[in-house]
Every structure is written in C-alpha cells, then in structure tokens.
Amino acid sequence: MLAMILPPCSLPLLFLCSQFLSTFMSRPRSIYLIDFACYRPDDDLKVTKDQFIEQARKSGKFDEASLEFQKRILKSSGLGDETYIPKAIMSHENCATMKEGRFEASTVMFGALDELFEKTRVRPKDVGILVVNCSIFNPTPSLSAMIINHYKMRGNILSFNLGGMGCSAGIIAVDLARDMLQANPNNYAVVVSTEMVGYNWYPGRDRSMLLPNCFFRMGCSAVLLSNRRRDFRHAKYRLEHLVRTHKGADDRSFRCIYQDEDEQKFKGLKVSKDLVEIGGEALKTNITTLGPLVLPFSEQLLFFTTLIWRNLFGNSKGSPSSSPGKALHSRLQACI
C-alpha cells in the first residue's frame, strides 16, 4: 500500500530515515553523576585506636584475649585515629536492637541526603528512582521507605531496598539505578549506601567474628545520578562501564562472609580465612572482563601476545611477561 502512495525514488530515503530513527531510539542513554555526599558524624563520636580498645574494655563485653586480638588487628587495619562509632556499642546494654539500628540509620542516611540535596539544589520530590543498600540491617518498613517518609517524596517513585549484598552492594545498587534510568527517561536517581555498625556489633570471643568490629565504622554515602541531556554540562562524571562478577555458585565463596551465631548464641559476621584468596580470584575475573572495555587496541594486542607466548613457550626467560594476569593488571593501571 505504501508503494502505491510514494514514488519509487522515495523508498530508499524512507528506509534510511527509519534505520536512523531505530538506531537513535535504541541507543543507551548517557548516565551522569551530578554530585555525591558522604556523611561525617559529630566529633564526639570520633575515636582513636587506643580509645576504641579502652572503651571496649570499659563496656565489659570482652575478655582480655579478645581485646588483645582486636588491638593487633587494629594496628594492621589501615584505619586512622579519626574514625567514628555509635555511642551505643560501648555501653553495657545490648546495642543490636531495632531501636538503635533505626536511630543510626536515620542519622547517617538523612545526614548524607541533606547534604546532597543542598549541594545539587534538587528537591526530594524531583527524584524518580531511589536505591538503598545495607547488608545487615533490614527493618520493616524498609530503609528506602524511611527515606521516602522523611522527605515526603512523590508517590510514583521507583524504590528499591537491597540487603545481604556485602561489600559489592554499592556497585550493584548503581547497576540497578542505571538500568532504571535506561528505562525511564528524563529522571533523577539517588543511590544510598551504608552499613549499621551498632546493629552488627559482636560482643563474643570468636576471632573470625571479631574482625568486623575492627574494620567497620559509621558512615553513609549518597549519589545523585541523572539521564537528562541538559545535566551534561554540570555533571562530575559519566558512567561508561560497569562490570559485575558473581562467585556465589562456589561453596567457599558463598561462605567466606557468613552471618551466624557463636557457641554463646551471640550473632555476628563470620569472616573466613580464605577471603583474600577468594576476593583475588573474583577480582582477576572482573579485571579480565573489564580490560577489553577500557584498554586501547594496542594494549589488548600486547596482552594477547603475552598470553599466546606463554601458552607456546611456558615461563621461558624470553617471555614478554611472567603472567598474563599481571600484564593485564599493569596495563589497566597504566591507562587509569
């Protein structure tokens, strides 16, 4: 029917226009990071490493062996003397309660979001997508519902609350926000990442469960993302690539960080001694996937030359590199 209406010479032009529109409409939207905010607690919550051990001793929750172990871990932890902890964890009372968890959550999340909205001049009602991640503390109503209620956000907001996702939860939350922004044009997305220190505080003697006491501290981050074209000029960053690797099918990986109870029925987060090895394997897989996306062609060619050389000649003296994995890692560092 169309051929009868349009002259034959117009058909190629119509085809080209339709192809152009199809390509343009299916092209992924650019995702911009407008700004971010990190919550900084009040100075009265700041502790040095020595103060941490002294307050832990005064709380009466630990024996001397547990205190000495935490002291050794803190010395090699890389933490400075200006970290923050909730007051409740050093009291004689049980701090792992819903009341204390909600109080800490509201303090850190609202603190970060207040700063973010002030910096960006974006109203909470303008946000169309909200993603919150917190591994351990997952109350009902959810943390995302707490934020929506506090800021009186709009009724059609797409909200998500991620729990139990571990240290990769922030990346997973950004990935989810990106997918939502691709499907919903002209929108803002807020990603909130936090962890409740008090709710996961472990007062027992199991050394594998004492480790989180030494590494986790009070804090929260909030990020504003946008897919609006006009935000390009004042955005700090543009999201180019996001790569995820999941090792959960492997039993060792699945149990390397495991919430459990000890012999005294104290709840805590058990950290396996295999964590570093398992994390290294996941990172190697992740970098191998990321490499082709960010490395220039010349570096990719050098990497595959190294890989072929090693397969043909093994670890001979003339090999371009002793390890293709190390070669790829070094190339990534050079490009970054």
Per-residue pLDDT tens for 192-245?
999 999 998 999 999 999 999 999 999 999 999 999 999 999 999 999 988 888
pLDDT of residue 35: 97
**What residues are paired with 260 via a beta bridge?**
268
What is the arithmetic mean of pLDDT over 52-73?
92
| Residue whose pair of structure tokens reads 């190629």 in the numeric block | 12
Q: What angle do CA 53, 55, 60 make, to 5 degrees?
A: 100
Report CA 177 to chain centroid distance, whole Å: 12
At 203, which amino acid appears? P
User: Higher model confidence: residue 12 or residue 223?
Assistant: 223
What is the arithmetic mean of pLDDT over 65-84?
93
At 193, which amino acid appears? S
Q: Which two tokens stand for residue 144?
A: 């995302």
Distance CA 322, CA 302 (A): 13
| Residue whose pair of structure tokens reads 């030359």 in the numeric block | 305
pLDDT in tens, 115-167: 999 999 999 999 999 999 999 999 999 999 999 999 999 999 999 999 999 88
Q: Which two tokens stand for residue 272?
A: 């396996």
Mean pLDDT is lowest, of 42-56, 92-106, 313-327, for 313-327
Q: Please tell me the total number of residues recorded for the chain in this structure.
A: 336
Residues 104/196, Cβ–Cβ less than 8 Å? yes
Helix locations, the chain, DSSP H: 2-5, 10-26, 49-58, 64-75, 98-120, 143-151, 169-183, 207-215, 251-254, 275-294, 297-313, 324-335
What is the arithmetic mean of pLDDT over 254-264?
92
Residues 227/169, Cβ–Cβ less than 8 Å? no
pTM greater than 0.85: no
What is the arithmetic mean of pLDDT over 302-323?
66
pLDDT of residue 115: 98
- For the chain, which domains are there? 31-247+260-271 (3.40.47.10), 295-335 (no CATH)
- Give the chain's radius of gyration (CA, Å): 25
pLDDT of residue 4: 46
User: Higher model confidence: residue 4 or residue 315?
Assistant: 315
